[in-house]
């Protein structure tokens, strides 16, 4: 029996090696896979680090161990759908990715970013003031929440051109987005507790309703501004002068 098992093991190992040996990869164990290399990488990070940091470190430290980029897996879209909706650029491939990239590219043009520097500076000063007050008073602050508020306000000014006040009085929109993130967490999606599932579903549905209503209203306001501006400056934005964002303000 032992001889038979050993023979089967050799056959399986030979097949696996023949199938995957030509592909670039870190040192591999037939039993543990890449857990050995992964464990070595994890040791350099503090507890509760996001797994993406591990993968990035592996890629940077072992550039010869990985091959070409592959299409985004459908599970990425499944994970992001409850948070930001289906078919977002972070999970898209091929023509769909190119279309979404074409739509979003004008916002990241250097000319447009430069026109938004005063806005970024205003929000940065609020962020600096918040940290200064905390340092002077000895208050303990959660940097993750504080930085999230800062980034959220900057993005809000970029998209809607008005403050969302996450750094000052707080933002219901940011709170609702956090509810969506919690609903997509591993603990929320794997629980067997029916009461917890129903409670999370109702909480998520309420948050989605508020977000849809708020964003729809602001998009209509923004569209009115763009439409009014087009009467005096011509259609905007377009592929030729999308960088001149100051025309809308």
| Residue 149, number of CB atoms within 10 A of its CB | 22
Domain final residue, candidates 40, 65, 90:
65
User: Is the per-residue pLDDT at 249 higher than 90?
Assistant: no
pLDDT over 80 at 41, yes or no: yes
What pLDDT was estimated at residue 137? 92
Please check whether residues 82 and 156 belong to one and the same domain.
no
Q: Residue 24: helix, strand or coil by DSSP?
A: coil
Within 10 A of 82 (CB to CB), how many other CB atoms are there?
Answer: 16
- Taking alpha carbons only, the member of 194, 183, 196 closest to residue 80 is 183
Which pLDDT does position 243 carry in this prediction?
A: 41
Give yes or no for a contact between 160 and 154, defined as CB atoms under 8 angstroms apart. Answer: no
- Both 119 and 238 in one domain: the answer is yes
**Residue 78: per-residue pLDDT:** 75
Q: Which of 65, 90, 120 is the last residue of a domain?
A: 65
What phi and psi values does residue 234 have, to the nearest 5 degrees? 90, 170
Question: Do 16 and 114 reside in the same domain of the chain?
Answer: no
pLDDT digits (tens, 9 = 90+) for 152-208: 888 888 777 777 888 888 888 888 888 887 777 666 666 778 888 888 888 888 888
Q: Crossing angle, helix 51-61 and helix 35-42, to 10 degrees?
A: 110
111 or 62, which is more confident: 111
Say yes or no: 161 and 213 in one domain.
yes
> By residue range, what is the domain housing residue 98?
72-108
Q: What DSSP designation does 8 have?
A: H
Do 59 and 126 have their domain in common? no
> Same structural domain for residues 115 and 226?
yes
Which residues is 33 bridged to in the sheet? 29
Neighbours of 39 (CB within 10 A): 11
Residue 226 has pLDDT above 80, yes or no: no
Helix (H) or strand (E) holding 140: none
- Tokens 């592929």 -> residue: 239
Of 124-128, 151-155, 217-221, 245-249, the range with the lowest mean pLDDT is 245-249
CB 109 within 8 A of CB 243: yes
Q: Quote the pLDDT of residue 21.
A: 57
pLDDT bin (cut points 50, 70, 90) of residue 23 is low
What was the pLDDT predicted at 128?
93
Same domain for 138 and 97, yes or no, is: no
Looking at the structure, do residues 134 and 241 belong to the same domain, yes or no?
A: yes
Please give the tally of structural domains in the chain: 3
Token pair of 160 as six digits = 């809607």
Same-domain pairing of 89 and 125:
no
pLDDT digits (tens, 9 = 90+) for 111-134: 888 888 888 898 999 999 999 999
- The answer on 100 and 130 residing in a single domain is no
Q: Are residues 235 and 202 in the same domain?
A: yes
Does 236 share its domain with 175? yes
Mark which of 12, 36, 65 sits at the end of a domain: 65
Q: What is the pTM of this model?
A: 0.56
């Amino acid at each position: 029996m032992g001889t038979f098992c050993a023979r089967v093991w050799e056959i399986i190992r030979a097949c696996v090696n023949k199938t995957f040996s030509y592909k670039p990869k870190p040192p591999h164990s037939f039993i543990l896979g890449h857990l050995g290399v992964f464990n070595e990488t994890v040791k350099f990070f503090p507890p509760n680090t996001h797994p993406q940091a591990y993968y990035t470190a592996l890629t940077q430290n072992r550039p010869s161990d990985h091959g070409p980029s592959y299409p985004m897996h459908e599970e990425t879209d499944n994970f992001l759908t409850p948070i930001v909706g289906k078919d977002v650029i972070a999970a898209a491939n091929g023509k769909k990715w190119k279309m979404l990239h074409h739509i979003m590219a004008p916002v990241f043009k250097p000319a447009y970013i430069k026109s938004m520097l005063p806005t970024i500076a205003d929000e940065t000063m609020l962020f600096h003031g918040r940290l200064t007050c905390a340092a002077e008073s000895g208050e303990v602050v959660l940097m993750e929440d504080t930085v999230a508020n800062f980034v959220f306000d900057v993005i809000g000014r970029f998209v809607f051109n008005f403050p969302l006040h996450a750094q000052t009085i707080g933002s219901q929109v940011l709170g609702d987005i956090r509810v969506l993130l919690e609903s997509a967490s591993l603990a929320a999606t794997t629980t067997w507790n029916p009461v917890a599932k129903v409670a999370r579903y109702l909480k998520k549905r309420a948050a989605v309703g508020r977000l849809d209503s708020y964003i729809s209203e602001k998009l209509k306001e923004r569209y009115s501004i763009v439409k009014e501006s087009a009467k005096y400056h011509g259609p905007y934005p377009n592929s030729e002068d999308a960088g001149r964002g100051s025309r809308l303000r």
